[in-house]
Amino acid sequence: MSSETKQILTTDGIPLEVSLKKAEKKNKIKAFLLVAPLLLFLFITYVFPIGEMFTRSVDDKMITNMLPKTFKAMEKWDGKELPPEEVFDGFYSDYKVLIENQTQGKLGQRLNKEKNGFNSITKKLMRQIKRNKIDESQSIKQQIMKIHKRWRDVEYWQAIKRTAPPYTMAKYLKGMDMYLAADGSIAQVDEDRRIHRILWLRTLEIALFVTIFCFLMGYPIAHLLATLPMKYSNLLMICVLLPFWTSLLVRTASWMILLQQQGVVNDFFVMIGLVADDSRPEMMYNKVGTYVAMTQILLPFMVLPLYSVMKTISPSLMRAGKSLGGTPFIAFWKVYFPLTIPGIGAGCLLVFILAIGYYITPALVGGASGTLISNQIAYHMKTTLDWSFASAMGLMLLSGVLVIYWIYNKLVGVDNIKLG
Amino acid sequence: MALPTYTETRYRIWHYFYIAICTFVFFFLIAPLFVIFPLSFNAEEFLVFSEGMKRLDPDAFSFRWYHEMVYGTKNPWGLAAKNSFIIAIFATIGSIILGTLAALGLSSRHMPYKGLIMAVLISPMIVPLIISGVAIFFFMAKVGLAATHTGIVMAHIILGTPFVVITVTATLSGFDHSVTRAASSLGSNPVNTFMKITLPLILPGVISGGLFAFVTSFDEVVVVLFLAGLENTTIPVQMWTGLREQLSPTILAVATCLIILSTLILVTAELLRRRSERLRGINR
């Protein structure tokens, strides 16, 4: 018997297998079409703009576009001694074009960032060209070199050559307090100017400790909520859910009131005689404020996943542990605790992810020593307007978060996130 | 929680210690919200309890700051509240429509690359707001929607849809697909089936997702700070400016109103959750 005779046909005479595949494909397309609007919307307004942050952060085309002839001529130059005549010719004609377009100032500023002293010598060159002091029938190289001794210094030409590639990693290096040295190697910034590394470490430290505090405070109450009878636990659950639903700014404002020097917490300390009235400790605008406020704000995100896991653990397991001769502590440690590990993982990862990107609370109660990397990003977006640096730092933070998100997805699964 | 009579003393002590810790944590969670109420009735201009308030002197309390919030000259709260509600309502509608459709697709067993697509759809909830803010700002500036209501609504749809997707997918996980097939076999077209059969059944999930989206938009400040012009100021933006610059008790009056609002939302969300659990038969 051949296989064809075994084939089952539908009423239209099409093999069932083909017909089924067609129907499956139709269903697949149908399902995808339902997701498509949101997916498309997110890609256009969200995913691509994040990608654009990357191009913005590595973009260094400005000089590449300003000095095309110079870089063409520099291709043949080995970069060890002063460049040949053609490079000077190229630079001279490029620079003349820039003067005509009145954009020569930008070149000077940008080159000055690469090597100090460029601004003044490019200005000098500009004045010479504007006064028609340069005779194009003579050697351009000799005339430029005569304008200022720095034009005779090979290091300045090497600096120009370094700006040739249209892309740069400089912003990322700057985010880690490093820079590209003159010989192309990666060097460390002077010790007293390493501000970003401190911020990264502080962000990690605060996120880590907030996670630990949330865990230490969240575990007992999640356990209590899960073991109490429904009518009591529902009431206590409000204590967790009301802060969860309340505006972040309201909660931050209440901490600002509580923690200020004349605030309620300090009043209480004075009342019980812990501190003297005239030496009230500063609890806001420093790390303490950030820790306290962030722990309270993120605590519900720890309690809810823990609670949903603990709710599924049968109380008879603990009783069995005890009846088999374990003390309550051993029964808890050997039976109950291992069963709650999925909840601990979910809660800790969620709190850590949220804490590492926190912005509002540290900005309001953190002061100078309690601010995080997010505050630095906002500072560069709004104040210095160095958007490419802000993008680079944002992406460095994002890559860290995505790694944790990936782990979270592996451990918990994003489709298992529960809300409330 | 009563302890059995045979409990040893050390476990008894441990148990009371545990209750004490829990009490402290619950107090830590909820007490900060209550400090706002009395202070918002402060008759004076400072954000501390005055001597009069400590003595419960009636003269130390007043509605002064509520009056200021509503009738104050040049006060920004009216415009901010109007903007906040308009933006939040439109963002909620957008999130519900896009999120529910996507959740319906994702719950189909025919959906290809389910895990990957879900991860992308949820990402705005996970990515730090400051990064979302920067990216969305670049996009809105490029298409000329920065400092417009439309731009902010779109930004809040991005941030709000993950919640709708999550809650509706959860509701659909207990959904019996044979009822929609029954409707189709009785001659109903897909739109009619959705409106008459599917939607009423998943409505609790849709509404609670919508509540999340509403609160997200209503409370969101980081992205709005990047996008908003003077005309688009919202309540959170005003609170942010107020907390940074001139700390006035008017903020506490606003905060009290917001706490009342969030209590209402909490009650609605809880009722919906219980109803949905009852419908899905997971009432424990």
Q: Which of A237-246, B1-10, B17-26 has the highest mean pLDDT?
A: B17-26
Shared domain for A153 and A10, answered yes or no, is no
Is position A184 within any domain? Answer: no
Cβ neighbours of A218 in B, within 8 Å: 25
Q: Which residue's structure tokens are 């909620």?
A: B92
Q: Is B150 on the interface with A (CB under 8 A)?
A: no
Is position A172 within any domain? Answer: no
ipTM for the assembly: 0.86
Is position A181 within any domain? Answer: no
Is position A186 within any domain? Answer: no
C-alpha to C-alpha distance for A182 and A80, rounded to whole angstroms: 12
Shared domain for A332 and A272, answered yes or no, is yes
Range of the domain at A302: 195-416
Q: Is B244 on the interface with A (CB under 8 A)?
A: yes
Is position A183 within any domain? Answer: no
Angle at which helices B77-107 and B199-219 pack, to 10 degrees? 140
Shared domain for A239 and A331, answered yes or no, is yes
Shared domain for A224 and A285, answered yes or no, is yes
Q: Does pLDDT of A1 surpass 50?
A: no
Domain count, chain B: 1
Find which of B17, B50, B97, B131 to mutate to test the A interface (most A CBs within 10 Å of its CB).
Answer: B131
Shared domain for A254 and A384, answered yes or no, is yes
pLDDT, tens digit (0-9, with 9 covering 90-100), for B139-178? 999 999 988 999 999 999 999 999 999 889 888 887 888 8
Domain count, chain A: 3
Is position B253 within any domain? Answer: yes
The predicted pLDDT at position B111 comes to 83
SS3 A11: coil
pLDDT, tens digit (0-9, with 9 covering 90-100), for B41-53? 877 777 777 777 7
- What CATH number does the domain containing A398 carry? 1.10.3720.10
What string of DSSP letters covers chain B?
A: -PPPTT--HHHHHHHHHHHHHHHHHHHHHHHHHHTHHHHHTBSSSSSS--HHHHTT-GGGB-SHHHHHHHH-TT-SHHHHHHHHHHHHHHHHHHHHHHHHHHHHHHHSTT-TTHHHHHHHHHHHHHS-HHHHHHHHHHHHHHHT-TTSHHHHHHHHHHHHHHHHHHHHHHHHHT--THHHHHHHHTT--HHHHIIIIIHHHHHHHHHHHHHHHHHHHHH--HHHHHH--GGG--HHHHHHHHHHS---THHHHHHHHHHHHHHHHHHHHHHHHHHHHHHHT---
- What CATH number does the domain containing B208 carry? 1.10.3720.10
- pTM comes to 0.84
Find which of B42, B109, B130, B177 to mutate to test the A interface (most A CBs within 10 Å of its CB).
Answer: B130
Flag if B131 and A217 touch (Cβ within 8 Å): no
Q: Does pLDDT of B283 surpass 50?
A: no
Give, as one character, the DSSP assignment of residue A9: B
Flag if A390 and B35 touch (Cβ within 8 Å): no
Range of the domain at B231: 85-280
Flag if A220 and B269 touch (Cβ within 8 Å): no
Tokens linked to B67: 């009056």
Is position B255 within any domain? Answer: yes
- Percentage, residues of chain B above pLDDT 90: 36
Shared domain for A273 and A394, answered yes or no, is yes
Shared domain for A111 and A46, answered yes or no, is no
**3-class SS string, A80-129:** CCCCCHHHHHHHHHHHHHHHHHCCHHHHHHHHHHHCCCHHHHHHHHHHHH
Is position A48 within any domain? Answer: yes
Is position A174 within any domain? Answer: no
Is position A177 within any domain? Answer: no
User: A364: Cβ–Cβ under 8 A, 6 or more apart, which residues?
Assistant: A252, A256, B240, B243, B244
Shared domain for A88 and A49, answered yes or no, is no
